[in-house]
Amino acid sequence: MLAIYRRIVVKPVAGGSSVGLYHVASAEEAERAARGIDESGEACLAEEFVSGTELTVGIVDGPSGPRALPASEVRLEEGRAFDYEGKYLGKGTREITPAEVPAAVSRAAQDLAVAAHQALGCEGYSRTDAIVSAKGPVFLELNTLPGLTRASFLPQQLAAEGTSMLSFLEGQLAIARRRRDR
């Protein structure tokens, strides 16, 4: 793939918290990623690295359908990746909620997140990660069980729109009861 793309991202197809994420731009980095993948025994995927602004958008189902929460922006120091250390140890990253991007960019990312949530048949809540390139938002992945810790994006986004965790959790319980009673 390095013959086609200057930089690729290799990551497990399942899992979370960016454990096992590799940014590969050289033969040495490819060897390191291959060793890590081999040791983990997990199936992985490789994709082209997309340069741009990283946004993540939570989606919450409600009585009138899925609604997008305010987008969050991830800013990285030069040479850093939004990996486990960046997410949980704050190394080289800054999370901004709501994102400091033009409203049209935020809206496009929110529309992409709603479309992904619906296309994949998600219920309750999800979170979509995207890179806003020069061509617009590019879908990276959808998280079906995004974190709900104080440091996680979804609670930050709920707070930014004025929704309490209690209200969110009550809504999720109502969805689960409806699903049970079907």
pLDDT tens, position by position, 8-28:
888 877 766 566 788 888 888
Q: Which two tokens mark 65?
A: 């359908």
Provide the number of structural domains found in the chain. 2
User: Do 173 and 155 share a domain, yes or no?
Assistant: yes
Q: Does residue 31 share a domain with residue 66? A: no
Please give the structure tokens belonging to residue 108. Answer: 């496009």
* Strand extents, DSSP E, the chain: 8-12, 22-24, 44-48, 53-62, 65-68, 72-76, 93-96, 125-133, 136-143
- Asked if 32 and 70 sit in the same domain, the reply is no
Confidence of residue 146 (pLDDT cuts 50, 70, 90): very high
The helix/strand/coil state of 78 is coil
pTM of the model: 0.82
Parallel/antiparallel/unpaired status of strands 136-143 and 125-133: antiparallel
Report if residue 95 sits inside a domain.
yes
The domain of 44 spans 8-48
At 22-68, the pLDDT tens digits run: 888 888 888 888 888 778 888 888 888 888 999 999 999 998 999 99
